[in-house]
Each structure stands twice: as C-alpha cells, then as structure tokens.
C-alpha cells in the first residue's frame, strides 16, 4: 500500500486544535483489510439487527426494515491501531442516535457492546456514540460495503481506533458496567482514543 508520510493533509488541524493525523499514524490512500478469522457468510434475506439489554424497547429489524429507516451520510477519517489512517471516507447508513431513539436506553445504560456475525464483539462508551458521525453503515464512497470490509453492515465510531468499528454487525447491547470485547480481552485498550494513543491497556 502507498504511504504518504509527507502529504500536506497530514499537517492539517481539526476544529479542536488537535492534529488531523493522530500521533504515531501514517496516511494511506489504500484500504487495508484487517480482521480475525474468516469472513462470515451473511445473507440479507435472513439478516436481523437487534438492540437489547438496558433499553425500554428491544428492537429487531430485518434488512428491509433497516433500509427503510431514515438514511444519513457522513465523511470521516479512519485511524487503525496498526498505524495506518485513511482520510475522507464517505459513509451512508443509519445514525446510531436515531436507532437509540427507538430503543430508548434506560438511565443506567452506560456502555454499548457491538455484536457481530462470527462472534466478534467490541465495547464503546454510550456517551461517545452520540452525534451524527456515529453510524451503522452499508456504503462507502458510494458503493455497497464489500464482505471483506464488513458488508452488509458495520458499525462506525470514527473518534476511536477502527477496531471499535465492528464489521458484520448484528446487534448492539446496552450495559451498565464496561465489558471487554474481543481485542480488548487480548490487551487492546478499553477506550481506544487515537489522539492520546490509547492503543493497549
Ligand atoms: N467483526 C469484526 N470486526 C472488526 C474486526 C474483526 O476482527 N471482526 N477487526 C477490527 C479491526 S482490528 C480493524 S483495524 C477494522 C478493519 O476494517 P477494514 O478491514 O474494513 O479496514 O475492523 C475492525 N472490525
Ligand atoms: Mo485493527
């Protein structure tokens, strides 16, 4: 893959003054494929998505029901803990806040666990899933997500390292106490902020 360490984009700053390229990262224009194990077979005809745990209303959606929800677009950067970053990704899908509005988290809900087909899990503080950039996405740069990149649907939490963006997502569980997901159990950080290099716990 092509690495452009002197690309002028790497010198840009964000609105909050932090550098656009987090410390220890290098910019790539490719899109590496990274996951543990094999790509699960996910059939849209039998696909379901669940929101469960500490919610007033458990939600189960079929693929058609999910696609009938209001769709949104966002643009954000990817930062992988293995040090590659990819800028300006255009995503389409459903904003997580819009789904949470249907499920209505209970007051004691503080963390989300993303569950994927194939068994992968990852944990994200509920407070950091608010905002229109946090989504469940089915398209990238105008094309449906390929299976290798998490199609038909993946999570997207761009303020955290990319392992927090679960591929082949099948549900979100809301819990009161933080619980390690797959990589977190193997020593990755429970939080995963790229700007403070929360790589390993
Ligand atoms: N289901 C699942 N999601 C996953 C992973 C995985 O192993 N399984 N790996 C994570 C990691 S470590 C990274 S860096 C990104 C990679 O996404 P990409 O292959 O689309 O670049 O997916 C994340 N989501
Ligand atoms: Mo990763």
Q: Which domains does the chain have, with CATH numbers?
A: 22-29+48-196 (3.90.420.10)
The residues lining ligand 1, judged by C-beta closer than 6 Å to any ligand atom, are 31-36, 80, 116, 118, 120, 149-150, 162-163, 165-168
Protein residue closest via CA to atom 22 of ligand 1 = 163
CA terminus-to-terminus distance, the chain: 28
Q: Tell me, in angstroms, the distance from the centre of ligand 2 to residue 77's CA.
A: 14
Within the chain, which residues score under 70 in pLDDT? 1-5
In the prediction, which pLDDT does 7 show? 84
- Of the candidates 159, 172, 166, the one whose C-alpha atom is nearest the C-alpha of residue 184 is 166
Measured in degrees and rounded to the nearest 5, phi and psi for residue 7 equal -60, 130
In the prediction, which pLDDT does 85 show? 97
Protein residue closest via CA to atom 16 of ligand 1 = 34
d(CA 94, CA 97): 9
Protein residue closest via CA to atom 24 of ligand 1 = 166
What does pTM read for this prediction? 0.96
Supply angle C-alpha 128, 148, 94, rounded to 5.
40
Atom of ligand 1 nearest to the CA of 80: 14
In the prediction, which pLDDT does 6 show? 73
For 181, the token pair is 């997901």
Q: Give the number of the ligand closest to the Cα of residue 154.
A: 1
């Amino acid at each position: 893959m092509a690495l452009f360490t002197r690309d002028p984009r790497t010198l840009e700053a964000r609105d909050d003054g932090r550098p656009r390229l987090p410390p220890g990262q290098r910019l790539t224009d490719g899109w590496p494929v990274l996951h543990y194990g094999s790509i699960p077979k996910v059939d849209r005809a039998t696909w379901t998505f669940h929101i469960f745990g500490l919610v007033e209303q458990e939600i189960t959606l079929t693929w058609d029901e999910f696609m009938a929800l209001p769709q949104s677009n966002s643009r954000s950067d990817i930062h992988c803990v293995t040090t590659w970053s990819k800028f300006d990704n255009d995503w389409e899908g459903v904003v997580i806040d819009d789904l949470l509005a249907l499920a209505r988290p209970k007051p004691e809900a503080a963390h989300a666990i993303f569950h994927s087909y194939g068994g992968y899990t990852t944990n994200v503080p509920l407070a950091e899933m608010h905002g229109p950039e946090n989504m469940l996405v089915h398209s990238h740069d105008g094309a449906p997500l390929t299976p290798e990149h998490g199609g038909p649907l993946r999570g997207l939490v761009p303020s955290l390292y990319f392992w927090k963006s679960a591929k082949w997502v099948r549900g979100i569980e809301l819990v009161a106490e933080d619980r390690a997901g797959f990589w977190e159990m193997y020593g990755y950080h429970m939080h995963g902020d790229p700007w403070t290099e929360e790589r390993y716990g």
